[in-house]
Structure 1
Amino acid sequence: MSKIDAIRLKNLRCFEDTGFLDLKPITILVGRNSAGKSTFARMFPLLRQSAEEDKRSPILWFGKLVDFGSFSTAIKKGTENKEISISFRFQTVISLRTQPEPDLFDERSKQKLRKKYSREGDTSVELELVLKQNERTGVTYAALIEVTIFENKCRLECDENGGVSKLLINEQDLTPTDSFGCSLNQRNILPSLQYFQTRKLKFEGVERTLRMRISPFLAGIRSRIEEGVHGKTNEDTIQSLINSILIGTKSDIRASLLNSRFCTATSRENFTKLFRRKSYSDSFNNLLFAHVFPKIIENVDDTLAEIASSVRYVEPLRATAQRYYRSQDLAVDEIDSKGTNVAMYIDSLSASERERLNEWMSKYFGVEVSSRSEGGHVTLLLQTQESKGTGTNIADLGVGFSQMLPIVLQLWQATLPPAFRKRVKRSEENTCIVIEQPELHLHPAYQARIADVMLASIVDSGSIVRSTQIIAETHSPHLINRLGELISEGKLSHKDVKIIIFQDSFESGSAEARTSDFDEKGILKNWPFGFFEA
């Protein structure tokens, strides 16, 4: 499963332009209050709530996880450019052939077809999504979708009425004209793109206008193929040559065509000469990418939705402990962002799951957790290694334990091996855990141990199919110092940690972000002197 390698924000809240910020297995966000840490961290739950709901626009600014208000409150104040840009870099598996995917195939057959025609290994993708607001309706719409893939830049410009104003492939304008057009329909995050041709037909003496789903670029692709084949080559062979083309780099395209079983020795020689001409190679390449651009957008949107579904968010104001929790016969497979369902989650664990959890809790925090159900209520109990008996009601302990539990449970669940994954929707699922202020109400020693738990999550999960990405916003020097110690002890690679420092710029009036890294000895580089001092 894919995960985000880097993200860039423009004109979002306090940011003018963050530039691309790399994400690692452990990414720590630091900075003074109102410097942009929370805005950056909440981009990930924002992505999830946007992908999960049916909506008219790409982004759901206000939802069950985070509240950005609306487009007008999310856009940077005072900016003259009334648009918000969100960019991503990620790796994904792309399956693209010029051959269309038949609508008659069932989903299982389609999956087999995609797997058969997938390129080996992951493909690097860069996406920029530019958002604007329809001044008449107030609805947010995608004004620009730009995908860079296989060294090709595919750009779609859209108007506020849901139409396509321009289609550019490597800066060549290939906007459909004449009887051809484009339509957009909102999907998960991105809108889908469809090509059509308008035709007028008479039916029982009445003229009707029909839209046929036909690509405006097939004729141009066929024309380029005809340049390389014998003049008497039949239409079926030409179409088979087109269908055999694998969309990728120019060398991939050339190789798939030349190696096709429908390409004769003479045609192979002709195509080899034609591809040496830059004008032919560029034109052929751009037509192919324009033809499959709807499929590229669909692939990228599906990847974004998959990434979004993996986000687990722990917000800073977490639920306080209760003496009794109302019992509910619900299957609990995820901790909610406030941790309000922690008791139900623990109570729903099997005996083997609870044993694994308590081994983990005991190792890192010296406590074990249990639940007791009676009279339609659930009680949460904590027991230390030193104490004996049935444990103490969590409501009778310090608030730190109730604040820590949602974090610990999220990180613990990421370590579950396949045999314990009844709670995970896909066995190959990555997890992106976003935590705001994990140190709240915790003793400095426990703040430091959060770093050990983070390490355990990425190491344990890295040894199996699933992998974990942790993004934590913090004010705790103890947590950061402990990460350095773990690196110096050889338990954590310095390449797996990134520190992003957010700060206000008095010159630009915007928040700025820069990065700091640990060296191999666990010492921070480019760290601002006296950062945690008053």
Structure 2
Amino acid sequence: MLAKFGLKNFRRLENIIPVDIAPITLLVGRNSSGKSSFLRTFPLLRQSILTRTSAPILWYGDYVDFGSFEGAVHNNDKSKNISFIFNLDKVTVRQPRIYVEDPSYPVFGTGPEIISKDVTLNVSIGTQQEKTRLSQAEYSFNNDGINYKATFDDRGKLTSILVNDREGIDSFGNHRVIVPTGALLPEIVIWREAENSSQTGLFTRFGAPAIDAAARLLAPMLDKRIKPNQLRHHIQGLFFMPSFTVENIKKQAARVSTRSLQKLLNNLGNEPNDQLYSDLNHLFWLNRFVPAFNAASTSVRSTITESLYIGPARARTERYYRYQDLSVSEIDSDGKNFPMFLNSLTESQILDLSNWISNLYGYGIRLSRTVGHLTINLVEGKTVTNVVDTGYGVSQILPVLAQIWWAVNRSRFGRTSRPSRDVSMIAIEQPELHLHPAHQALLADALVGEASDEKGARQRSSRLKFLIETHSEALVNRLGELIALKKLSPEDVQVLIFEPKEDDSRSTEVKVSKFGSEGELLNWPYGFFQANLAK
């Protein structure tokens, strides 16, 4: 799960060190301070991942429009790279499938699953001949102190892999590294190229290229009677250890029947400056680069593609909508397809949504169908009113509320026999527009999930996170009230304050404010919501 997110050289956000993404994260700041750029990064990444492109970023798409690389890079300096930094609390790395053709050895299968904690994936893009390209990817996981840095050329070819600053690309030998072009988070594929058409032995599809390099390193030190496949078989067992330690190596040596190899393994690491131990340790971690990088990329892609976005400019409601037989799985960023979304719901789902909104704001919704047309009505007691005949703020908040409700309930209300995947994040810009401050405050209740229906209190999905860009003092204060009332934990909410630097760098710094146990704001700038009349 995404725990932190940071940016470098993205518009005003020159160097934003990864900040926590709490279950509820508010972005506040004066106009043109960079908070919208931060939030819109997620729909930007989503439209880039979901659309088939020839470049890693689709600057203009269905969700947001950033123009071009030159328009998005800090100070329009095309010599700089833009970096997206993802910090994950953990990543499950599945070792590659290994197959040995020698009949003396069975199929080895897959290696063990490795849980890497506190993982950071830093992906950088640049420009080459006016085209955005993947420039560099850095991957590290702190529990083992390992850092990978991969560099790509202008065609997407992998040109360098550093493992803790030691180059490893040459150790891939006769393996072909394939990096799909046009992907910000590519799945790197490695094929072992046969030396001749009659060759048999070890073949890999998703990695393990360093096994051959280790075999070349150890072969001169071992009994010449050891067959290449036999040696590779033992090395793959060595490389599938949980971690490269003297204790694990000795355990692996006990499983080896070849005396010369057993002796060599038992002696590894006994000398203070054991070069062979250092070389094998390097190859051990190099061998894990591909599955580790791919696992992190998959995790980030999953988080991004399972996110939703609602923009600040939402479509005006109409008195009637033409009926269309469309199945709508999510609401557009401008809410334009909101009527078709409602029409895609079952009657029980519309009732559930209506009851949830009614418990918040005192009115429910009803969808009326006539020949060829749809009408959205508000229901207050026995009074039914077309939404066009109500305040403008009501029509603007309905798509936001429906998006929140759907994000929480999508997996519960899957429309197929196979359950839908949970939403990971919902990013909303200025949900409070055109609302009275009292109704702005009630948005906090919608986010927290305190609204209840006949079935009892609704609980927010443990995976769902809200990223809200807002100017509403009422919304901020209401969250503090809910914390004071013990309806929300202070650890579940934070405020990111975007403040332009006072120098001429056109840069923004981000400060973090949290709530105390009594709902008080900590590290909050004095007079933040007041006009600055000083000259």
Matched, 1:381 2:381: no
The AA in structure 1 aligned to 2:113 is S
Distance in 2 (alpha carbons) for counterparts of 1:195 and 1:347: 47
Judged with a 3 Å threshold, the aligned counterparts in structure 2 of structure 1 residues 397 and 472 are, in CA distance, closer, same or farther, namely same
Shift of 1:157: 1.1
Partner of 2:11: 13
Partner of 2:85: 87
Deviation digits for residues 181-230 of structure 1 (CA, Å, limit 9, x no counterpart): 6443236532343456788989xxxxxxxxx9897633322256669987
Normalised TM-score (structure 1): 0.85
SS of aligned partner of 2:151: strand
The AA in structure 1 aligned to 2:158 is V
Task: Identify the match of residue 474 of structure 2 among 478, 496, 510.
Answer: 478
Task: Identify the match of residue 139 of structure 1 among 131, 135, 147.
Answer: 131
- Say how many residue pairs are matched: 507
Judged with a 3 Å threshold, the aligned counterparts in structure 2 of structure 1 residues 509 and 230 are, in CA distance, closer, same or farther, namely same
- Conservation of the 8 A alpha-carbon contact between 2:14 and 2:507: yes
Alignment of 1:416-431 (within 5 A): 416=409, 418-422=411-415, 427-431=420-424
Shift of 1:368: 0.7
Partner of 1:440: 433
- Conservation of the 8 A alpha-carbon contact between 1:333 and 1:424: no
Partner of 1:456: 449
Q: Superposition RMSD on alpha carbons, in Å?
A: 3.4
- Conservation of the 8 A alpha-carbon contact between 1:312 and 1:433: yes
Instruction: Give aligned-pair identity as a percent.
Output: 31
Partner of 1:527: 524
Matched, 1:157 2:155: no
Shift of 1:46: 0.8
Distance in 1 (alpha carbons) for counterparts of 2:218 and 2:319: 74
- Conservation of the 8 A alpha-carbon contact between 1:250 and 1:285: no
Distance in 1 (alpha carbons) for counterparts of 2:52 and 2:246: 37
Matched, 1:341 2:333: no
- Conservation of the 8 A alpha-carbon contact between 1:46 and 1:60: yes
- Conservation of the 8 A alpha-carbon contact between 1:157 and 1:164: yes
Partner of 1:38: 36
Judged with a 3 Å threshold, the aligned counterparts in structure 2 of structure 1 residues 281 and 124 are, in CA distance, closer, same or farther, namely farther
Distance in 1 (alpha carbons) for counterparts of 2:458 and 2:214: 44
The AA in structure 2 aligned to 1:441 is H
Alignment of 1:29-428 (within 5 A): 29-77=27-75, 79=77, 81-97=79-95, 99-100=97-98, 117-119=112-114, 123-135=117-129, 138-149=130-141, 150-176=144-170, 182-186=177-181, 188-195=183-190, 217-223=210-216, 233-245=226-238, 250-251=243-244, 255=248, 258=251, 262-263=255-256, 271-276=265-270, 279-384=275-380, 387-389=381-383, 391-416=384-409, 418-422=411-415, 427-428=420-421
Judged with a 3 Å threshold, the aligned counterparts in structure 2 of structure 1 residues 227 and 348 are, in CA distance, closer, same or farther, namely same
Distance in 2 (alpha carbons) for counterparts of 1:522 and 1:95: 40
- Conservation of the 8 A alpha-carbon contact between 2:376 and 2:387: yes
The AA in structure 1 aligned to 2:56 is P
Normalised TM-score (structure 2): 0.85
Partner of 2:513: 516
Judged with a 3 Å threshold, the aligned counterparts in structure 2 of structure 1 residues 457 and 268 are, in CA distance, closer, same or farther, namely farther
SS of aligned partner of 2:17: coil
Deviation digits for residues 26-46 of structure 1 (CA, Å, limit 9, x no counterpart): 000000000001000001101
Judged with a 3 Å threshold, the aligned counterparts in structure 2 of structure 1 residues 419 and 14 are, in CA distance, closer, same or farther, namely closer
Distance in 2 (alpha carbons) for counterparts of 1:83 and 1:125: 22
Q: Which consecutive unaligned segments of at least 5 residues does structure 1 have?
A: 103-112, 203-211
Distance in 1 (alpha carbons) for counterparts of 2:354 and 2:477: 26
Distance in 1 (alpha carbons) for counterparts of 2:262 and 2:487: 55
SS of aligned partner of 1:415: helix
Shift of 1:287: 1.2
Shift of 1:233: 4.7
Distance in 2 (alpha carbons) for counterparts of 1:166 and 1:461: 54
Judged with a 3 Å threshold, the aligned counterparts in structure 2 of structure 1 residues 481 and 252 are, in CA distance, closer, same or farther, namely farther
Q: Which consecutive unaligned segments of at least 5 residues does structure 2 have?
A: 101-108, 198-203
- Conservation of the 8 A alpha-carbon contact between 1:176 and 1:182: no
Shift of 1:125: 1.7
- Conservation of the 8 A alpha-carbon contact between 2:309 and 2:333: yes
- Conservation of the 8 A alpha-carbon contact between 1:368 and 1:382: yes
Judged with a 3 Å threshold, the aligned counterparts in structure 2 of structure 1 residues 141 and 232 are, in CA distance, closer, same or farther, namely same
Which has the larger displacement, 171-180 or 456-465?
456-465
